[in-house]
Chain A
Amino acid sequence: MTRPLGRIWGLLALPVISIILSVVVGSLVIIVSQWLVGGSLEPGLAIDAYGALISGSLGSFNAIVNTLVAATPLLLGGLSVGLAFKAGLFNIGAQGQFLIGALCSVIVGVWLRESPPIFAIPLSIAAGMLGGAAWGFIPGILKATSGAHEVVTTIMLNFVAIAILAAMVAGPLDAPGSPSPITLDVGNSALPVIIGRNGHIGLIIAPIMAALYGFLLYRTTLGFEIRTAGANPDAARYAGMSPKFLIVLTMSLAGMLAGMAGAFELLGVTKNMTASFGTTVGFDAIAVALLGRTSPIGIILAALLFGALRTGAAAMQIQAGVPRELVDVLQATILFFLVASPVVQRIFRLKGARSGLEDTTSFAKSYGGEGGTI
């Protein structure tokens, strides 16, 4: 009996301890910053803030649906980053792929807004996935051919994506007669609502994608090759695999997942696009993938956690007056304790616990020019 429990604890211990520690750090940040800026020491404020955070994300049926809606793009983004991790690649570009995916789906969605939904919806989603895949393909092919590290190129492409999006919304996509740049509504291309007020069909598709992700990685030859290339590129090459091909393919697939997240966010939530479209999904996705230890179930759980945090943050800001950016602080501290896991393990005397990233290669190793030799 103790064996399986021990194994589950080994998997959960570090993430759970990291989350608890970050809640403690978050409380300190709330109290100290309020004291510095506001001049009054209110220890109760932290409890108010977390109370508002929880009731705003889980306190009612609508709040729970909102949490699920917020978790959907995080789940897909987490899969995107996680898949790249498995191949030894660091996809910081999920944000750009997300934006380009949303842009492509709004173009097709608006174009098909009066067509039958049975055509309009799948085509709009497919456009987003293709757009994201293309945006992931670029850093992949750059890394495979020239060795330019994906960390730098994907960050640059994030900024290029923002510029393209702004140019398109202010230019060709701008709805006639609107006072500020905004596209037309996607009309019939909008995702059908299946639960609550705004629980769109993506809520079901995203977990299916997580299952496919697990199937691809652990039940197919391609998945085996991706994991091998990530764990040991030399062994992969020696076994006759092509690490260059795998880099391009994995980055494209990762981009496709992030693009799908953008498509769902656009077709299911905003339904049109303004120049300020865009959230921090791509960056949250990194936290989701790390906290979820790149496993499908872990990523689902981590996405739910961060979806709840993002949803509750608005209530926290209104009810307790604590800025919603606190969620970013919590996210960073969770990651900090995860990365400092050897130290956390020593302090809490955990022997078997694993942070989940041990079997991926060091990203830093392929930095600069060395990746070009693969």
Chain B
Amino acid sequence: MDGLIDLVYSIPLIGLVFQFLGYLLATLPDIAPITLRAAVPIAFAALCGVICERSGVVNIGIEGTMLTAAFVGWAAGVFLLPVMGAGDPIVFGITPVLLVALALAILSGLLVASVHAWLSISVRADQIITGTIINIAAFGVTGYLNTLMAKTSPTGAGSFKPLAPPTGLEDIPILGWLVATLLAQGPLTITLLILVVVLQIFLFRSRWGLRTRSVGEHPRAAETVGIDVIRLRYRNVIIGGGVAALGGAFLSMEATASFQQNMTAGRGFIGLAAMIVGRWSPLGAFGAALLFASAQGLGQSIKIVPPAGELGVILGSLPGQFFDALPYLVTIIVLAGLVGRSIPPAADGVPYEREAAT
């Protein structure tokens, strides 16, 4: 068997592909947790995009919404820690102060999304410009406050902790590592996994889902059957803001316990690409987020444990920055390859104007 593998690996060029596949299989249990962690903020962003765009509102401001929530979650912890005390975590490292901080982070997401909703639904401004302004504003305000707070060398309230799965799970053959990976996650990651399934069902099986989709496809027709288009769009955009805020909170309260300037680093936009590639469905978007994140997981894995043999020599000669750029490159390539076959809701990005009463 080993002899056969060596033989296959030694084929010129094609052998490299097999070496790569072999490396993927061997490192999969190591890459999977990194990939899932990297996918969480992207997937939250993508779900926010699905909720907004299915009702016909383009939201480019997801990035800024996430950044705001990441900052608020962290800053609220800094301010509340002296007041509320650290407290004892019961499970997941959840302390009262963290819960309040998370609630404030979600609230900030709802607020930012309300601004976007007002500008794009009521003012009927161009939704892409509106979103861009939200991004610039979030970048500016969080950067400003972060610099101001850095003077006092603040202490954060810590972060949520992953669940410790029962030992021995990894030993279950074939899929044991997968179950262990899915269980050994923090509360926000698990929330995401539940949210993906719930949204998938609600969007295609509930009254809200049917109304959302009809408003996104043909608002005029939806209104004639008595659906309040404006109200539904407001509600969806604001709920979407809360979902994006969870992604932001994940960055500063679960993945790390601190805030860095511009820490979202384009994840909101990768989320939008994931939404497009996932054809505006929650499950598809989550899958695409995993795909984009796997580029990051693979890059990290290659940096830490490079593959053996010829492939390792080639990959090792690439500069480390190549792997930093990999998620962005994969996003461009997949988007360019798939977008023509991925059709957005018909009324996506078109402000709705009620017919004047005569």
A and B found bound together: yes
Inter-chain contact A159/B328, CB cutoff 8 Å = yes
Chain A 188-205 near chain B by CB (<8 Å), digits 1 or 0: 000000000000000000
Q: Is B148 among interface residues, defined by CB-CB distance under 8 A?
A: yes
A136 to chain B, nearest CB (A): 14
Q: Is B265 among interface residues, defined by CB-CB distance under 8 A?
A: yes
Mostly, the B contact residues are: helix
Q: List, sorted by A's number, 6 A–B pairs whose CB atoms are closer than 8 Å.
A: A148-B339, A290-B129, A323-B144, A328-B144, A357-B126, A372-B339
- The closest CB in chain A to the CB of B64 belongs to A332
B24 to chain A, nearest CB (A): 23
Whether A325 touches B147, Cβ cut-off 8 Å, given contacts A332-B133, A367-B344, A368-B339, is: yes
B274 to chain A, nearest CB (A): 10
Inter-chain contact A332/B130, CB cutoff 8 Å = no
CA distance in complex: A197, B143 (Å): 31
Chain A 22-33 near chain B by CB (<8 Å), digits 1 or 0: 000000010001
B217 to chain A, nearest CB (A): 13
Chain A 163-179 near chain B by CB (<8 Å), digits 1 or 0: 11011001100000000
Inter-chain contact B332/A157, CB cutoff 8 Å = yes
CA distance in complex: A163, B324 (Å): 7
Q: Contact check: which of A164, A335, A363, A369 meets B136 at CB < 8 Å?
A: A335
Q: Is B197 among interface residues, defined by CB-CB distance under 8 A?
A: no
Told that A153-B335, A362-B128, A369-B343 touch, could you supply 4 new A-B pairs with CB distance under 8 A? Answer: A159-B266, A170-B321, A365-B350, A369-B344
Whether A167 touches B332, Cβ cut-off 8 Å, given contacts A328-B143, A357-B126, is: no
A121 to chain B, nearest CB (A): 30
CA distance in complex: A170, B319 (Å): 9
Inter-chain contact A155/B269, CB cutoff 8 Å = yes
Q: Is B137 among interface residues, defined by CB-CB distance under 8 A?
A: yes
- The closest CB in chain A to the CB of B331 belongs to A156
Residues of chain A contacted by B119 (CB below 8 angstroms): 339-340
Q: Is B254 among interface residues, defined by CB-CB distance under 8 A?
A: no
Q: Contact check: which of A328, A330, A343, A357 meets B129 at CB < 8 Å?
A: A357
The interface of chain B, by Cβ under 8 A from chain A, is 58, 60, 119, 123-130, 132-133, 136-137, 139-141, 143-149, 151-152, 265-266, 269-270, 272-273, 276, 319-322, 324-325, 328-329, 331-332, 335-337, 339-344, 348-350
Inter-chain contact A368/B126, CB cutoff 8 Å = no
Place the interface of chain A in its size category.
35 or more
Within 8 A of B (CB), among A4-38: 29, 33-34, 37
Within 8 A of B (CB), among A278-322: 283, 286-287, 290
- The closest CB in chain A to the CB of B343 belongs to A369
Chain A 137-159 near chain B by CB (<8 Å), digits 1 or 0: 00000100111110111011111
Inter-chain contact B145/A33, CB cutoff 8 Å = yes
Whether A151 touches B140, Cβ cut-off 8 Å, given contacts A146-B340, A290-B129, A342-B123, is: no
A309 to chain B, nearest CB (A): 12
Q: Contact check: which of B148, B331, B335, B348 meets A323 at CB < 8 Å?
A: B148
Inter-chain contact B349/A159, CB cutoff 8 Å = no
Residues of chain A contacted by B324 (CB below 8 angstroms): 163, 166
Residues of chain B contacted by A171 (CB below 8 angstroms): 319
Q: Contact check: which of B325, B335, B342 meets A163 at CB < 8 Å?
A: B325
Inter-chain contact B332/A142, CB cutoff 8 Å = yes
CA distance in complex: A325, B136 (Å): 11
Inter-chain contact A328/B319, CB cutoff 8 Å = no
B302 to chain A, nearest CB (A): 15
CA distance in complex: A325, B137 (Å): 10
Residues of chain B contacted by A323 (CB below 8 angstroms): 143-144, 147-148
Inter-chain contact A160/B128, CB cutoff 8 Å = no
Residues of chain A contacted by B139 (CB below 8 angstroms): 283, 328, 332
Residues of chain A contacted by B331 (CB below 8 angstroms): 152, 156
Inter-chain contact B126/A325, CB cutoff 8 Å = no
Q: Contact check: which of B141, B276, B336, B348 meets A142 at CB < 8 Å?
A: B336
Residues of chain B contacted by A90 (CB below 8 angstroms): 128-129, 132
Inter-chain contact A155/B266, CB cutoff 8 Å = yes
Q: Contact check: which of B136, B319, B328, B342 meets A331 at CB < 8 Å?
A: B136
CA distance in complex: A158, B320 (Å): 17
